[in-house]
Each structure stands twice: as C-alpha cells, then as structure tokens.
Amino acid sequence: MFIGKSLTNIRVMNELSRGQLAKKVGVTEQAIWQYENGYTSPKLDVVNQLKTIFHVKASYFYREDLLSRSNMENIKVQHIAYRSETVNSLSKTQSELLHIRFLDEFLKRIESKISYPASLLLKMRDEAYAYVQQNPDVNRENQIHFIANLARQTMGLPENSNQNFLFLLEKAGVFIFEKKIGETIDAYSLWTEDDRPYIMLGTIKKSAARRNFDLAHELGHLLLHYKVEFSMQDKSSYRMLEDEANSFASAFLMPEEFQKDCTDIVKVSNPDAYLELKEKWEVSLQAIAMKVHKLGLMEYQQYRYFFMSINKKGYKKIEPLDDKILVNRPTKVKSVLQLVFEKGLITLSDLLDELKVDQEFLTQLTGIEKEFFFKYLQKERKSFTMSELVIK
C-alpha cells in the first residue's frame, strides 16, 4: 500500500509545495493531496517519476520512512537558530526541520555499533550556564568573553591562531554538515532534546574566513542560547540574540593574543594593512576592523574610512586571500561512514537497500560528495580474477 506520509516528508524536506511537485510529475495538485492523505494511490508511471525526483527506490513509498521510527519531539523547530528573516518562512523552516530529523535518524542507524567519546561541547555548555548563574552581576559582554575564552581553552585551540577550528569543533562533539540552504542563510544550529549539537553550513559564496565566523557564531548560539525558543522571539529580541552570537564569535576568533598583534599596525584605516592578520587568524578584514574599532584602536572616522575603502577596492564580496586560505570541510560523519564500511559493520548496498534510497539521496542528505559513496559501491562489485580461474 502506498504510504502518503513518506511522500509528504520527503516532499517537505526538499522544500516543494504540492503544486510544485504536481507540475514536475504532470498531475494536479489535488492528486498529490490525495496520494498524501491516502485517498488514492499513484499509478506506476507517477511512482517512477517520484523516485527519480527524490533519488529513492520505488519501494520507498510503500514502507514507513526513517521518520516513522523517530521521536518527533527530539528535534523542536523553535530551538533552531535561524536568521530572523528566515524564521517567518514556514516552508523553509519545515524543510530544514525535516532535514535535521532525517539526519538524526540516519546517524542513529549507522552509529548502532560504535560509540563516541564524552561530548566536550556538552561540558562547555553546562560550565557556561553555571558561570552565568553564579555571576549574575557580571555584565553580559564580559560573560560572553569569559565563555568564549573557556571554549577556546577547552577545545584546545592554539593561543595564536584558529588553525583546525572546524576539526576541533567536530572533535568536541558537534555534528557539522553542508548543504545549499539558500541565499539568505549562512548557517544554523540547534541542540536536540537528547543533547546532540548540530551545525548546518551553507555552501554559497563562502571563504575560509567567513566560514570560520559562521562556525563561531553558531557555537555562540549553542553555548549561550540553549533552550531559547528562536521562533518565538520578536525582531528586537532576535537581534539581541544575533548580536550576542556575533560578540561571542569576535571574542572567540580574536582573543587577547590578537590584540597584541594589532599594536604594530600603523595605517589602521587601510584594509590592506591587516592582510597578515587575516592570514594568521583566518578571519575577514571586515571582522578584524570591527574588533579593532571595538578595542579602541581605531577611531570612528578611521573606521568609516576603512569601510569606504572596502567598498572602493571591491572587498565587500571578495577579499584578498579568499582564494588562498583553505576552506575546511566537515569530515566527522564521513569518517564514521568510512569506519562502518571498512570494518564491514554494514555495506553501503545494504544501507541503501534498507533505506530504499539511491546514493544521490545520501549525498544530498549528508553533503558528502557522491564520489565517496561511488567508491564503496565499486568495491562491492566483484569480478573474476586470475586466482579464481582454473586451467584444465
């Protein structure tokens, strides 16, 4: 029997309305509604189109999907830290919610035979919360700076660089993924109810420096805003939360050692004077200027001139060194999959068969390149070798 809920879930995850899907398939919007609500079942040619659109097997729609086994309360939409202009987009919010739910259930499936070290991020979150509770008289900015320094020390970042930031963040317990989120979203993050932290990174127009700031911004949300209901905030309150995450990111990426590096800058209003700092700390020239101004090392008129120069030089979108500093990508989940495949805990073919999906579905779900999955499918395809042939 065709299961309409499986179609609904995968349609919403792919951010398609019933009308949009109907046009792709060549049926009416009412027909899609009927399929999803169990009033009629689609013909075979429609099912074949659906499986092509969503990169699944035809049998996917005749069985319960991953979400049917999940605790839907484990991931709550109100705890996802979006940009404010996206909070009010219901289709986008529901799409990202279902994507994270699919990911969460997928991870639980492949992790059944492995275990992780204790989560450093959970430890940091609890210590940050305890610090705020025990120091209510400390102003918020100082609280944020303390928590940022605590995070750097706990994660093991070097005192004088941000090298391996993404790797150390994954090692600390964060599950980081990439996907085409859209033009208006740089990244988002959340805690699940069972204390698993996620960060989803956008893949559009990202330099290493800007990606680092995105990661630090989301780390700020995870440590400062646990249990905050982002979707319930008015614009003013949401702006305050974003400002706090930005303040955390600035303090985290440009700690006390950074201030010492600034003392040798002579032409403080010249963006090009900070290129060595950008290369060393892997943060953008614009973020550096904001920090330098906040430290009182750049006067307001110099600050204004800096950004006039940024516009004039064309650095607003692409800065010097953006094409030279390596953009790091998440590797944790890829390594987990590699482990389970190499150790024979599960084969990729068995996984695809169990989930009733194609390898392209896993690429879209995890953000891992399709070549990775293709390699393991190739390994499973056996062919005759000389040792298996016998001469009479």
Each residue's pLDDT tens digit, 163-215: 999 999 999 999 999 998 877 778 999 999 999 999 999 887 679 999 999 99
pLDDT tops 70 at residue 383: no
Tokens of 282: 């892997």
Q: Are 161 and 283 in contact (CB under 8 A)?
A: no
User: What is the average pLDDT across 67-86?
Assistant: 77
CA pair distance 248, 145, nearest whole angstrom: 7
Q: Are 274 and 265 in contact (CB under 8 A)?
A: yes
Q: What is the distance in angstroms between the CA of the first residue and the CA of the last residue of the chain?
A: 53
| Span 107-146, pLDDT tens digits | 998 988 788 888 999 999 999 999 999 999 999 999 999 9
User: Which domains, from first to last, does the chain contain?
Assistant: 1-64 (1.10.260.40), 70-256+327-345 (no CATH), 347-388 (no CATH)
Q: Given its phi and psi angles, is residue 321 left (phi above 0), alpha (psi -120 to 50 degrees) or beta?
A: left
Using pLDDT thresholds of 50, 70 and 90, give the confidence band for residue 80. Answer: confident
> Closest Cα partner for 268 from 239, 298, 295?
298
CA separation (Å) from 24 to 34, 47, 49, 50? 16, 12, 8, 9
CA pair distance 110, 248, nearest whole angstrom: 34
Q: Are 339 and 113 in contact (CB under 8 A)?
A: no
Q: Which residue has the higher pLDDT, 38 or 85?
A: 38
113 three-state secondary structure: coil
- pLDDT at position 112 is 83
User: What is the average pLDDT across 2-6?
Assistant: 95
The pTM (predicted TM-score) of the whole model is: 0.92
